[in-house]
Amino acid sequence: MPPFLDASLGSKALGSLSRPNLWHAALLFLGFFVLVTIPTVLLWGVAGLAAAAILLALVWPLVVRIPPEAVMRLYQATRIPPDESQLSSLVDVLAYRAELPQRPDLYVIPSATLNAFAAGSREHSAIAVTEGLLRRLSLAETAGVLAHEMAHIRNNDLLVMGLADVITRVLQLMSYVALGLALFNVFALLTGGDTISWWAVIFLYLAPALSSFLQLGLSRAREFEADRQAAALTGDAKALASALRRLETYTGHFWEDLMFPVPARRVPHPSLLRSHPDTEDRIQRLMALDAAPDEPRHERLVIVEQPMFSLVGYGPGDMRPRYRWPGLWF
């Protein structure tokens, strides 16, 4: 074990939790079907219902068959091989404590934003962190963020999150289609031609925002539980709370995603389900966990900070905004 980490286990084992992911996925599918069906029926009548059903049938294979490596390639992430570096050692220790069947692969994204996410399944997963996060957070705070993603993997949350991500991308595309249809209507009004339903245009445009509210409701309990388990895995609830404060400061707020030209445009990264509950609420719960002597947890990780070097060979000037269709991702 590396000298800067102490992975000794506490005397209390972490409890496992069975998540209601099945009905969450069913609600996401139902909400997606409704959001697609209403505008397509307004545009094409009964044929629109068939089109919505076909689109729904195409979404599921995209969720269950895309390997995590493909998601990482989408974001030009670099895989960090398992070695004796601080970050890789953190992943080793946290995966061991979380009792995962396989260690998640670690990727670093050359981006100046602060973000981290997991992809895949419990048996085959990957965790990505941006270089901006690594540069702005301490190693203890980074450990809390990694543990949060480990908790999602352990709880089999990734399938629902992947579904939410695919739905978000499809609905964002629908918003761009709505803008095109609105331009068509304006042209038709100027030339005296027939217009299409303005209600369909409005609904298509607002579909990502409407979906986001459903996803926020479903993600609340899941994120609180991931925070609880992350604090138990690291034994350091305060470090995760500190990381949450920094993340909110640098990444902004959810309502900023509802602005023109396309709702939810700031959240093409996996996934909109990561629009977490209120940060202060999460921090208060973490502080309560830290003060609870009977809360099951591992011994606190002993971490010695070491100099941070770029893991992907990029400097700050190279981490410029990059276009990720169908939206900007920085």
Pairing outcome for strands 322-324 and 327-329: antiparallel
* Cβ-based neighbour number of residue 22 at 10 Å: 11
* Cβ-based neighbour number of residue 139 at 10 Å: 20
End-to-end CA distance of the chain: 35
Structure tokens at 136: 């702005």
Q: Please, are residues 12 and 294 in contact by the beta-carbon 8 Å criterion?
A: no
Q: Catalytic residue at 305?
A: no
Out of 131, 141, 149, 223, the active site residue is: 149
Sign, CA torsion 245/92/219/54: positive
Distance CA(250)–CA(265), nearest Å, equals: 17
3-state secondary structure (DSSP) of residue 108: strand
3-state SS, 36-64, equals HHHHHHHHHCHHHHHHHHHHHHHHHHHHH
User: Looking at the annotation, which residues are catalytic?
Assistant: 149
